[in-house]
Amino acid sequence: MKKKRNFLLIIISLIVISLVGYFFLKPQTKDGSNLAITTSPLTRSESLLHTVVQIKIYHKGQEKVMEEAIDYIKEMEKLLSTNLEGSDVYRINHAAGEEAVKVDKRTFTIIKEALKMSEKSDGKFDISIGAVTNLWRIGDDEARLPSDEEIKAALPFINYKNIKIDEEQETVYIEKGMTLELGAISKGYIADGVKSIFEKHHISTAIINLGGNVLVMGTSPNNEKGWNVGVQNPDEVRGDTVGAVHVKNRSVVTSGIYERYLEVDGKTYHHIMNPETGYPVENNISGVTVFTDKSIQGDELSTSLYLLGIEEGMKYIESLDNVEAVFIDKDKGLHISSGLKEKFELKNEDYHIVENE
Q: What is the CA radius of gyration of the chain?
A: 24
- List, for residues 59-72, the tens digit of each pLDDT value: 999 999 999 999 99
pLDDT band at 117 (very low <50, low <70, confident <90, very high): very high
pLDDT band at 220 (very low <50, low <70, confident <90, very high): very high
What is the average pLDDT across 15-35? 44
Of residues 98 and 263, which shows the higher confidence score? 98
Of residues 291 and 32, which shows the higher confidence score? 291
Instruction: Return the percentage of the chain with pLDDT > 70, whole number.
Output: 88
257: Cα separation from own chain's centroid: 17
What is the average pLDDT across 240-256? 93
How far apart are alpha carbons 259 and 257 in whole angstroms? Answer: 6
End-to-end CA distance of the chain: give it in Å, rounded.
88
- Which among 185, 209, 183 is positioned nearest to 130, based on CA atoms? 183
Q: What is the DSSP string of 319-340?
A: TSTT-EEEEEETTSEEEE-GGG
Backbone angles phi and psi of 78, in degrees to 5: -70, -40
- Any idea which of 141-155, 236-250, 295-309, 341-355 has the lowest mean pLDDT? 236-250
Backbone angles phi and psi of 119, in degrees to 5: -65, -45
How far apart are alpha carbons 300 and 307 in whole angstroms? Answer: 12
Determine which helix (DSSP H) or strand (DSSP E) holds 12, and give its type and residue range.
helix 2-24
pLDDT band at 237 (very low <50, low <70, confident <90, very high): low
Q: What is the DSSP string of 262-303?
A: EEETTEEEES-B-TTTSSB--SSEEEEEEEESSHHHHHHHHH
How far apart are alpha carbons 112 and 115 in whole angstroms? Answer: 5
Q: What number of CA atoms fall less than 13 Å from residue 355's CA on the CB side?
A: 0
How far apart are alpha carbons 334 and 350 in whole angstroms? Answer: 11
Backbone angles phi and psi of 136, in degrees to 5: -80, -45
DSSP secondary-structure letter at 155? G
Tell the burial category of 7 from Cβ atoms under 10 Å away from its Cβ (0-12, 13-18, 19+).
exposed
Q: Whole-model pTM?
A: 0.88
Strands (E), 15-167: 42-48, 51-57, 101-102, 163-166
What is the average pLDDT across 304-308? 90
Please say whether the dihedral angle defined by the alpha carbons of residues 109, 48, 158 and 118, taken in this order, is positive or negative.
positive
Q: What is the DSSP string of 64-81?
A: HHHHHHHHHHHHHHHHH-
Looking at the predicted structure, is the pLDDT value of residue 234 above 80?
A: yes
What is the average pLDDT across 89-103? 98
Ordered by where they begin, the domains of the chain are: 83-174 (1.10.3980.10), 223-354 (3.10.520.10)
- List, for residues 170-207, the tens digit of each pLDDT value: 999 999 999 999 999 999 999 999 999 999 999 999 99
What is the average pLDDT across 240-269? 88
How far apart are alpha carbons 126 and 195 in whole angstroms? Answer: 26
